[in-house]
């Protein structure tokens, strides 16, 4: 390496001080045609004050040359396509100096770097950094011989301190790290595992190794526990946000466009409302609500097989009626259920004349179902039954046949006000079979879908059901 440096210095000295004799190539013509100079030598000064003297090719620094920079730095050596390439010497204004190989403008290969403070490195380079085998001697008297990676001591090496201490072993990020032996100047030896310059334990001590192993296992188990808890919390959170079938009710088709009437309380608070018909499931859009009368109209993208007509006449006491619906959801079965009865009263609780009292059996899940007359017309919408708990508290007796519906006149006014085109009611009495078939085709099972959090918050009295997820 000393011979190489001496040779380079001598060659570049000749180049610098005797340009007319050193250059084998002819001088470049002119002084301002740098973009065309090729196979010649010449000098050029950049606008920032940087100067170049040397060989050119295709308008670029190519071959041997010298660059004097405005900041005081200087380079003497090989060029290729305007970049340092080959052997070169770079002297910094700070006093530092590099002698060695370049590739595509960066220090790569063998080289020597002498720092202004007296530190010196001799060895391999890559991308301007110490990389590979190298030797560093420091101004304080320390010395390192070994491997480098990305400019730092890493891998196997030997570090000799000025005070006589000597470390032989593994390095990482300029520190003792891994297996290594430190021999102190007083004769003591620390041989074993090192972490960030700190001695951990002797590699031959089985008790310490066993303890370390147990500590590692404990740490691993703790990390696994934390990971499990995080996964469980994530799952619980996902469950809270998961939309599930929470409740059910009944609805019926009132237009050829697929408009469906039900109770407002059936769809209230639902994240999604689904319509079940002929084995298919459709998502329904809530169009309008009447919270006072407990009515709602929804619509699904399906073609209804049947449509029920809504009576425009007032109901009469003792009028025979049939109620259709899906009581208790799917707990008993998924088929439609019918009950028969009469109109018991022309008003509901508290003399509410928008409602009527009927004696046909109603159960949770019947809500929103049609109340049909003998002509197959809808005369009301099933809405509620008088609860046993309320009746016992208020009257001290269990009610029998005390159920309620919303009158068809109220339903008809609600739908017309919202632009629903209704079918004309029939005045002709129909057979029982015909009434059943017509009602079956137009009466639908509705499901209300909520998150677990919504269900817990609302504690709704809607019918819970299974096997729909």
Match 């891998």 to its residue by tokens: 155
Question: What fold characterizes domain 244-458?
Answer: Thrombin, subunit H (2.40.10)
Maximum Cα–Cα distance across the chain:
131
Number of H helices, E strands in the chain: 8, 27
> In the Cβ-directed half-sphere of 225, how many Cα atoms lie within 13 Å?
6
**pLDDT for residue 361:** 85
Q: Which positions of the chain have pLDDT values less than 50?
A: 1-21, 387-388, 390-392, 398, 460-469
- What the block records as the tokens of 38 is 């090729």
- Residue 406: helix, strand or coil by DSSP? strand
Task: Give the count of beta carbons closer than 10 Å to the beta carbon of residue 54.
Answer: 23
**pLDDT for residue 288:** 95
Task: Give the count of beta carbons closer than 10 Å to the beta carbon of residue 350.
Answer: 6
Q: List, in order, residues 6 or more apart from 305 with CB less than 8 Å away.
A: 278, 441, 442
Burial label, 383 (beta-carbon count in 10 A; 0-12, 13-18, 19+): buried
Q: pTM of this prediction?
A: 0.48
**pLDDT for residue 3:** 44
**pLDDT for residue 29:** 84
**pLDDT for residue 426:** 87
- Residue 184: helix, strand or coil by DSSP? coil
**pLDDT for residue 52:** 94
Task: Give the DSSP H/E element, type plus range, for residue 173.
Answer: none
**pLDDT for residue 463:** 39
- What the block records as the tokens of 374 is 């003998």
- To the question of domain 2-206 being in CATH 2.20.110.10, the answer is yes
- Give dist(CA 76, CA 62) in Å, integer: 13
Match 């046909």 to its residue by tokens: 360
**pLDDT for residue 429:** 85
Match 């990676």 to its residue by tokens: 149
pLDDT in tens, 436-455: 999 999 999 999 988 877 77
> Bridge-partner residues for 305, per DSSP?
none
Name the DSSP class of 421.
P
**pLDDT for residue 365:** 85
Check if the beta carbon of residue 310 is closer than 8 Å to that of residue 426.
Answer: no
Dihedral over alpha carbons 414, 416, 421, 427 (to 10 degrees): 80
**pLDDT for residue 396:** 53
Q: List, in order, residues 6 or more apart from 412 with CB less than 8 Å away.
A: 310, 311, 312, 422
């Amino acid at each position: 390496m000393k011979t190489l440096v001496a040779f380079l210095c001598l060659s570049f000295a000749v180049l610098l001080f005797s340009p007319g004799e050193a250059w084998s190539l002819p001088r470049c013509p002119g002084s301002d045609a740098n973009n065309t100079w090729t196979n010649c030598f010449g000098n050029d000064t950049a606008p920032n004050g940087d100067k170049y003297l040397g060989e050119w090719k295709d308008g670029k620094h190519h071959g041997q040359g010298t660059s004097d920079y405005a900041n005081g730095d200087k380079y003497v050596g090989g060029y290729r396509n305007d970049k340092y390439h080959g052997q070169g010497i770079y002297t910094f204004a700070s006093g530092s100096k590099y002698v060695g190989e370049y590739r595509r403008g960066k220090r790569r290969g063998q080289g020597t770097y002498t720092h202004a403070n007296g530190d010196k490195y001799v060895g391999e380079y890559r991308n301007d950094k110490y990389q590979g085998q190298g030797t560093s001697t420091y101004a304080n008297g320390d010395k390192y011989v070994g491997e480098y990676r990305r400019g730092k001591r890493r891998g196997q090496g030997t570090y000799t301190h000025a005070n006589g201490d000597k470390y032989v072993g593994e390095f990482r990020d300029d520190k003792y790290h891994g297996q290594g032996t430190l021999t102190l100047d007083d004769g003591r030896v620390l041989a074993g595992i090192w972490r960030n310059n700190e001695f951990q334990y002797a590699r031959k001590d089985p008790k310490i190794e066993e303890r370390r192993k147990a500590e590692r296992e404990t740490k691993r188990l703790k990390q696994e526990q934390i990971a499990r808890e995080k996964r469980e919390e994530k799952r619980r959170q996902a469950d809270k946000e998961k939309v599930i079938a929470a409740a059910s009710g009944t609805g019926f088709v009132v237009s050829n466009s697929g408009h469906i009437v039900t109770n407002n309380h059936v769809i209230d608070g639902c994240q999604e409302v689904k319509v079940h018909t002929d084995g298919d499931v459709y998502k329904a859009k809530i169009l309008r609500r009447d919270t006072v009368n407990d009515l709602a109209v929804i619509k699904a993208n399906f073609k209804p097989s049947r449509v029920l007509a809504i009576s425009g006449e007032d109901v009469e006491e003792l009028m025979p009626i049939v109620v259709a619906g899906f009581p208790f959801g799917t707990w008993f079965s998924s088929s439609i259920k019918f009950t028969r009865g009469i109109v018991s009263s022309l008003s509901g609780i508290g003399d509410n004349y928008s409602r009527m009292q009927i004696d046909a059996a109603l159960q949770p899940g019947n809500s929103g179902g049609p109340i049909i007359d003998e002509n197959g017309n809808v005369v009301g919408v099933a809405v509620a039954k008088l609860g046993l708990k309320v009746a016992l508290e208020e009257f001290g007796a269990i009610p029998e046949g005390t159920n309620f519906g919303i009158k068809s006149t109220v339903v008809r006014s609600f739908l017309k006000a919202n632009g629903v085109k209704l079918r004309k009611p029939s005045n002709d009495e129909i057979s029982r079979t015909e009434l059943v078939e017509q009602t079956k085709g137009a009466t639908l099972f509705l499901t209300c879908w909520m998150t677990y959090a919504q269900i817990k918050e609302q504690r709704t009295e809607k019918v819970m059901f299974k096997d729909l997820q």
